Structures are given as structure tokens and as C-alpha cells.
Structure 1
């Protein structure tokens, strides 16, 4: 979902005037809601010889009306200029894009805060349907049915020739016949049993009728469909769309796309493949680093269910990527809950060659809450996304339910040529409710797990619901460090176990040989950390060496076992470490209803070097709107009490003032 309406306008002709420059696009955004439209109908036609009006053209349209809030003069000018252009597109908050016309705007100006501002009433029309009737010389407009190439359940690979009236019977055979780039294989409704691998040529697409076009595997195919090229990033220029693929718990893998770019899956349904749904390889193997990365690939508007189990040495994933650049996965429903305990594999597996500029957005992802006891590689690692190496990945507007949503496991999570290694924003990480404490050895659910080297990670405007531990930093060696990690304007809601103590918002934990500064330049700005009041709870647990940690403008509530931060330098059965905490900056936070009188708790004589500890508010109620709504109310001590950190927008997208509020929301009267 988008937060704003997007208007984009341009002219398709060039008449020389500044407003008629063909191809020059203009864009603006509005924070406004579109109400229900008024439906209208326009008819055009002519009289017949008997004097009767015969409609030959009928347009059904929707008329919308938007009224903005107070906006600046330059935005009003942009809205007024829009109606001078011949092509206007509106992207709704749902992501739907429509062309609009008959745009009219009525501004109401007023002088506010030393500048002209105003509101705008904006009306426009949008086509709902157009019908052209067959009268006189008018033609009826319909979608033509392609003559070539088709498969049908009553077709024949022996006697058919692929024509609509004489189709083939199987996709495997059709793929051997249709090899010219630009051609499409069409699949009529029905269930097709495939026993042989389909090898799809470059430039050939496949399209069906939706979920009524079912491709059913009846052999242990690995993969069922092979799209392979000899040269890296060969332009596939092909789409697989409007089909259902059923692995029948028999086929090992559905698709393998090797060394091709511009291969798109759109509106597909995929179920019951044993280990892998869709694989993209940029190089000669899954782990081979390509010279030219595979680009232009995408999976969109699709549903993938029960397509991954565990397989030694662990190369599993409903979707798995290696050696891609600019891969986009969006508006998909990904679910892996249907296997035996310990056998539910990853939804997205990124442990092959480095992937660059991945975009994963607007998806709904579901895993079991927990998935059994970990035994080596054989179970319990219950990840949505597991990454070995990524540069410039963006994860946004997703819903993650259950399991461990994002595991940054490999030693190469670095930004490379990008501004970040991972940018994780505007997601909903959720457990449906607080869980009872799992059996010993079970991988407890968490939102994010930072394992080995992770640098330049931005985590902002996310909500984390009901996790016993939302964020886990761990390391198995001094070779792995965490640095330049940013948590900004996130909400940690109702953290803790339902029946047990010893849960945490954020944990740093190490291993026996992990000495030196293992985490530094970490920033926690304007977050809300809220715990389950019914159980004992820690806020931050610091169990390995930290340096240059900035904790500012946060609210900590209900960490009532050992306080909002505990410094033991050990964690559970981990070995006590040597070293110290240095360079801690703890300023302008609000701590309320936490143990140890809202102060840091030190255990076993451990200490930390605090460079700055100023303007923190201890023991005062932040005055949240409710126990689940962390907007602050009038009179809150958090209002204007934060440190100015140069951040632009709060959790809700509201512009941040100077000074800002403490917590995730700017105060709105």
C-alpha cells in the first residue's frame, strides 16, 4: 500500500510551448483520500431512418472528488498546471494506476505562517467501460483470440499443429515447437499432466486462463521448467502468467531460470513442489558470481504455497536467488506452513552468489510460529528470508507472520555500490499473539537476526508485534562485526512471552572467541519499546563488546525484571567475555515503569563507558493514547523533549519538528 496519491502528467505532442513538451513528465504527491465515485453514462449515436436514436457509443465513467488539507502554494500551482496536459495518470494508495481526464481544480487561498497556502477541491473523471455498437459503419470492438499457439486437454502432440482448433496436448511438447522469440504458448482451461521437463526458449512466453489452467507434475522433475542460456544476462524478454503449477508433492523444483534477464512471473499460483518453487541463477551455478548479473527479472501478483522443504546442504527456498541485480518480488502471498515439524523451508533463499538491488515489497509472508528443535542443519531454522550476501536490498510494505522474518546470516551484508546493504522499512512483523516459551533447542521466533558481518543496515517505520525477542545480534567469531546499523521510528509492541520471563527487545550475544569491538556505530533513534506488563522482561541485553552506541529519543516502558538495559557480558549458556562497553551515548530518552528505578542495571561488576547521558526523563508517564496506540497526548513529557537528529518523518510520515518529540510519533493537536 502507498501512503500518498501519486499524480503524473505529460503531453504526448509537442507544440513548442512549455506546457506542451512531449515526453516531459511531472509528478506530485497528495496526502489525501479518494471517496466513493459518482457513476455517470454518456451515449453518442445517430437517428435511423425512422427517427429513432440508435446509440453507437456508450461510455460509463466514474467521477471523483478530492479535497486536500492545507498545502503550500507551489503544490497548488502543480495541480493547476496538471489540467493543461493531455495525459494524466493517478496511482491510488492501493497501487492501482488509472488514466484520468476532465480535471478541474478550485483552490481556496489563505495566508498562513508567513506564506500563501490553501486547500484544493479536485474533480476528475475515469473510464469504467466503453462500448462501441455495431450500427451503420461502426465496428464492435472485442479482444481477438490468437490463432497460434495453443495446448488443450483434448489436443494431441501427435496430430495437432498448435492452432487454436488443432492444439497440442502438453506444454513439454509445445516448448519444443515454439522457439521463435516473440511467440506465446496459450494454455486453455483444464488440467495438464506433465511427465517430461519443459525447456522454454528465449523470447517465448506462456499464458493461461488463470487458476483454471493447471499444470500438474507427475514425475520427480528438477526442474519442471528450464529456462537456460549459455551467456550471462541473455535477454529472455518473456512472461509466464495466469497459470497454476501443481508439483503434486512429486516434482522437486518448478522453475530454474539460468543466466537470463527479463523473465517475469505474473499472476501465477504455485503449490506443492518438494524443495524449490522458482530459482534465478545469474551465473553458471547457483553460487557462481557472474561477471554480468541477471537483470530485469520479477515475480509479481502471485501465490506460492507449500513449495519448500529442507534438503542437505540446505539449498532450499520457495524462491531462491543467486547473482541477480534489480530483482523485484511484489504483491505476492508466500506461505510455508504445510510440512512436518522442522521441515518447513525458507520463503526466500539468498545464500547463492551475491544479489544486488533486490526489491521485496507489498507481500504477505507466513511461516509457522516455531518449527521444532534445531538439529544441525536438519530443522528448526524457521526463516522467511535467509541471506548470505546482499548489497542494496530494500524490504518494504510487507507483512511477516510467524517464524524469523529476516536472517542476515552470511558474512557479506555490505552496501557495495549502494547507500545501504539492507533498507527495511514500513513492514509489519507479527506473531498473532504472545507465545508460550518453546522447548529448549527450538529456534524462537524473532523479527530480525543479525548473524555475521552486517554493515549499513537501515530499519525504520516498522512495527514488531508480540515477539519474545524482536532483534537478535549474534556472532560466532571475532571476524564478524556489526556496524552502522540504524533503528529509527520503529514500534516494538507487547513484547515478551505469555508464560515465562527472560524476553528482550534487543539482544547482543557473542561466543567464546569473540573479543574486541563486535558492534559499533549503532543508532537507536525515536523508537517505542513496549513490553508485556504481565511477565518479567528485559529491554536491551548487552552480552558482547559494544562501541559507539547511540540511544536517543526512545521510549522504554514496562521492562520490569532487570530494567530497560542490562549489562552482564554474558547471555544464558554463553561464555563470559572479556572487554568492555565504550562510547555509549544515551540522551533524551523517556524510561517509565522499568525495574531498577528506570536506570541501567550492571551485573557481576560490569560497567560501561558512557560518553553522554543527558536530558533523559525517568519515571514519568509518556501518556500514550492507549495501551496499543503510541501517539502521545497533550501534556506528555515527551513533547518537544527530543534531540534534533536531522530525521525527516516520523512513524506515520508526519514531518519532524525541531525539537522533535521523544518516541515514534510527532504530537498532533
Structure 2
């Protein structure tokens, strides 16, 4: 019910107003949805509990949650429609708190056309697998935006901040996860943000994932989550995310092993990872498959800043010979900085790897590009800038146009952009187009500025502009609320 109607019927309760709206709605043109706003507030709203508001919502309705701490869990009992999403909107200070309980904060199971915006979800804990937000089955047209999730944890098991599990024969599609923050979660062997199983079509954009004790963002296949032949997260983009301080060093299930990725594709396919900023993770970005005989394939990693990865900044292939394959992986126009154990490593079972137009700024004595495992074939390395390792060899693979020169970054570590006199400016090679006719280098640099300006593209993630940084991003992401 809109607020404009409330003064007309002040003595009616919420359900009376709903019945009246339904009666008048039947008199208007067919197909027109009458949207209502349902207010949840500690006092003075239509409901005092978020779950009650969500249960009452019909397609087109918005459940607005006023500031307050709501000690409960929420599950969507019905779907919206293409023309009428059901929206759960948290105003600043609206907190869904799991203290004293367990399980999931928000559950969306086999529901479609659902939008969750602006809530804080925190303190869901327990010995099972607690999750801040759980999306399951064939749920499609799901949007999660501007949500803060923190302190989701299990003392001895697994946990997730946000988890999509495509477990049905019908794939999840049209998934948007944008502008969220996930922090301070204890995840066991799981991930802060994961898309797993039969998921076909997604955008993970503008999220900030930090200070978690296992993988930041993960796209998974071949774990038996979805039906055979469809059990892969696929056809998606991971763009404009900021991921930092991701480490399993203190995770009790890892015994001190440091193997948490900032961004990980484990069995996914047809995914573009671009314009992300990843710093101080056990592994910066990894493209691999943990299942023998199964391949992660058709992955593009481009226009990213990646720094201080403990095992390395970009890793590809299975982590040992008994794992799966990485096939057709394109690594172009990235800027990497001082991975503790090197910049790029091909582990095991890589085939069809392209490494071009990258700036690889290594630590003294570490490798630029290494063949750390075996069975790696069809590797093409060309036109990269190499600096810092006190070596005049790119590593395990030849680079005919290697440039051993200081790239002149603005302030290495804190600012990986190019100075105006950088030798990387206009030094990139034309990479051609992908199968869809789009430039393989991407149309936008790490900051969302045009990639094509000057006589040629620049090497690395940043395309220098004489007027300074171009902050006109191609797809703006709303700022997170302060909460």
C-alpha cells in the first residue's frame, strides 16, 4: 500500500488495506500490478518483524525495513514476476542479526524475481553451515545489492557470506551481486562469496570482500551440486571488485597453510575477470580445477591490479598432478606487484594459455612466469614488461618482445597507475577481438577509462590519460551505506 493511501483509511489494519487494494486492483486494466510499500519497524510500522513483512509481500511490493536490530532469519515464500520484483530494502541501520541462533540470515530457495538491497546481515553462527544469504535451487533473476555481511562463522565447520547453489535441472540465470561488502567471516573450507553448480549468467560487480579466513570470490564446477553436464558456474563477469586481506593462515581447518584465493575459478567456464583490485591474499587470482579430468575453460583475466599474493599473484592449473585442467585462459593487460613467491605460475595441466601486455613487477630473486608443475602445453607469452627480479629472462617461457624496464608506477604498492613518462604507455600490442567481436583487451581499463586512446593501448591494467585518472566508469556502482 502506498503511503498516499494511508490517510484515506486510517482505521484499517494492514490486511484490511491489502484486501481493499486487491478489490480496486481488479477494477483497473488487466496486467497492471499495484505495488505497495510494507513498512517493518521496531514500532509504528505494518510489522515489527522482517519475516512477517516478507511473508506478506506480493509481486511488485517493497518491504522497507527501518533502522533497528532484528534478531531473526528471513525466507522468501513466493516469487515476484518479470514486471514486479519483490524487494526487501533496508534503510541505513537496518540490521538482521543472528545472535543466539544459527542457519541462514536470508534464504531464497527456488524463487525468482527477488531483490535485496541495503540490509546489514551479521552474527549468523553455528556448527552447521551458517550463511549470511543463501540462494538455492533454480532461483533466477535475483539481485543482491549494497548489503553489508559480517561475522558469519562456524567454530569447526564451514560458512559463507553469500552462497548461490544451482542444484536444480533448470539453471539459475540473471544473477546480480553488486556493491556488497563481506568481511570478518570465519569460513572453514568455504568461501565468502560463491557461485556453485548449475548457474548460467551472472554479474558479480563492485563488491568489497576483505579480512576473511578463506577464499574471497569463487566460481565453482564439478562438485556434484548441479546435474551432470550442467554442474558449472558459467557465462558471467567478475568486475570492479576490491578484494584484500584474504588468508587461511589462521583458519583452524588449514593448520597454518596459506592457500586462500582472492578470486578463484575452480571448474567454472566462460567467465571474464576484469578491472578488479586484489591485494594481500594468499593467492591473488587463480584459474584451476580441483577435479581430475575436469577443466576450467575459456577464462579471461584482464585489466586487474593484483599485488602481494603470498603464493603468487596469478596461478593457473591444478595445484597438483591429480587435479584437473585449465584450458584456454587469457591473461592480458594486468599489473601485478611483488607476489611473495612470484608473479604468474602455471601449476599442472594447463593448455592454451595466453600471457600478453602485462606488467610483472617482481620481488628480488622471485620469478616472473614459472612452470611450477607439469603437463603445461600451448603457452604463448608476448610483449610483457618485466621489472624487479634482477633477471633478464621472463622465466619458463620465451617472450620475443619482452621489455625489461622499470614501468614507472606512481607509487609501487599503494598506487599501481602509470606515471606520465612510463615506457608502458602506447607500448601494447593489438590483441584482436574475441568470438563476440569485442576487443580481447577489454574496452575499459582498471579505472573504467577508455582502453583505446593514443597510438596504441598501454601495457598493464591502467591506460594513461594526460588529464589524470578517468573516473567515468562504464557501469557505476552505488556506494555502500555506512553501517
TM-score by length of 2: 0.75
Give the one of 500, 508, 521 matched to 2:317: 508
CA 1:561 to 1:430, structure 2 compared with 1: closer, same or farther past 3 Å?
same
- Aligned 8 A contact 2:116 2:143 in 1: yes
- The question of 1:661 aligning with 2:458 is answered yes
The equivalent of 2:184 in structure 1 is 367
Rounded to whole Å, the distance in 2 between the matches of 1:216 and 1:228 is: 11
Unaligned regions of 5+ residues in structure 1, if any?
Answer: 1-141, 150-162, 168-173, 184-201, 218-222, 230-234, 283-293, 372-378, 497-501, 570-578, 602-609
1:227–1:212 CA distance, 2 compared to 1 (3 A): closer
Q: How far does residue 509 in structure 1 lie from its aligned partner after superposition?
A: 2.3
Counterpart Cα distance in 2 of 1:554 and 1:359: 29
Root mean square deviation of aligned Cα: 3.8
Which residue number in structure 1 is paired with residue 121 of structure 2?
Answer: 304
Q: Give the corresponding residue for 1:650.
A: 445
Out of 259, 270, 278, which is 1:456 matched to?
270
- Kindly indicate whether the alpha-carbon contact (under 8 Å) linking 1:324 and 1:355 is maintained by their aligned counterparts in 2: yes
Rounded to whole Å, the distance in 2 between the matches of 1:552 and 1:585 is 8
Q: CA deviation at 1:413?
A: 12
The count of corresponding residues between Structure 1 and Structure 2 is 421
Which 5+ residue runs of structure 2 have no aligned equivalent?
Answer: 23-33, 432-438, 467-483
Q: Which of 410, 418, 424 is the aligned partner of 1:638?
A: 424
Query: What is the CA–CA distance in structure 1 between the aligned matches of 2:229 and 2:143, rounded to whole Å?
Result: 18
What corresponds to 1:257 in structure 2? 77
Matches within 5 A, 1:438-517: 440=255, 444-452=259-267, 454-496=268-310, 502-514=311-323
Structure 2 residue aligned with 1:523 = 330
Q: Would the aligned equivalents of 1:488 and 1:527 in 2 still touch at CA under 8 Å?
A: yes
Q: Residues 450-483 of structure 1, C-alpha deviation per residue, up to 9 Å, x if partnerless?
A: 222x111001111002112112334333342111
- d(CA) in 1 for partners of 2:364 and 2:78? 53
| Cα separation, 2, equivalents of 1:595 and 1:550 | 24
1:654, CA displacement in angstroms? 2.6
CA 382–555 in structure 1, closer or farther in 2 if over 3 Å, else same: same
Shift of 1:224: 7.2
Question: Greater CA radius of gyration, 1 or 2?
Answer: 1
Answering whether residue 213 of structure 2 is matched by residue 409 of structure 1, we say: no
The alpha carbon displacement at 1:382 in A equals 4.0
Is the 1:472–1:506 contact (alpha carbons within 8 Å) kept by the matching residues of 2? Answer: yes
Indicate conservation of the 8 Å contact 2:284/2:307, yes or no. Answer: no
Partner of 2:358: 554
Q: Equivalents in 1 of 2:43, 2:448: separation in Å?
A: 38
Task: Name the CA shift for 1:659/1:205 in 2 (closer, same or farther; >3 Å).
Answer: closer
1:587 and 2:394 correspond: no
Output the CA distance in 2 between the equivalents of 1:624 and 1:386.
Answer: 35
More strand per residue: 1 or 2? 1
* Partner residue, 1:389: 198
Secondary structure at the aligned position of 1:465 is classed as strand
Q: What SS does the corresponding residue of 1:613 show, helix, strand or coil?
A: coil
Task: Note the alpha carbon deviations across 1:504-549, whole angstroms, 9 max, x for none.
Answer: 432432455447xx222111111001016xxx42222222111111
Q: Per the alignment, do residues 613 and 212 of structure 1 end up closer, same or farther by CA in structure 2, a change over 3 Å counting?
A: farther
| Partner residue, 2:95 | 269
| Alpha-carbon distance between aligned partners in 2 of 1:654 and 1:242, rounded to the nearest angstrom | 37
Name the structure 1 match of 2:150.
335
Q: What is the Cα deviation at residue 563 of structure 1? A: 0.3
Q: Is the 8 A contact 2:59 2:79 kept in 1?
A: no
In the TM superposition, what are the counterparts of 1:558-637 in structure 2 within 5 Å? 558-569=362-373, 580-594=375-389, 596-601=391-396, 613-618=399-404, 620-627=405-412, 628-637=414-423
The 3 A distance-change label for structure 1 pair 212 and 330 is farther
Q: Is the 8 A contact 2:418 2:462 kept in 1?
A: yes
* Counterpart-to-counterpart distance in 1, 2:316 and 2:120: 34
Local SS of the residue matching 1:650: coil
